[in-house]
Amino acid sequence: MGNNRYAGELNAFLVEVFNDILKTEELYVTESCADLSVREMHIIEEVCRAVDEGRDNRSSAIAAAQHVTAGTLTVAVNQLESKGYLERVRDGSDKRSVRLRPTEKGREADRRHADFHRELVEATVSALAPEEAEVLARGLSGIAAFIREKYLG
Q: Where are the domains of the chain?
A: 2-152
Each residue's pLDDT tens digit, 49-66: 999 999 999 999 999 999
> Which one has a higher pLDDT value, 85 or 152?
85
Residues 6+ apart with CB under 8 A from 120: 21
> How much is the pLDDT for 1?
46
CATH code given to domain 2-152:
1.10.10.10
The helix/strand/coil state of 97 is coil
**What integer best gives the mean pLDDT of the chain?**
93
For residues 23-29, average pLDDT? 93
Is 9 a residue whose pLDDT tops 60?
Answer: yes
Residue type for position 123: A
54: left (phi over 0), alpha (psi -120 to 50) or beta: left
For residues 82-86, average pLDDT? 98
For residues 71-98, average pLDDT? 92
- Confidence band for 2, pLDDT divided at 50, 70 and 90: low
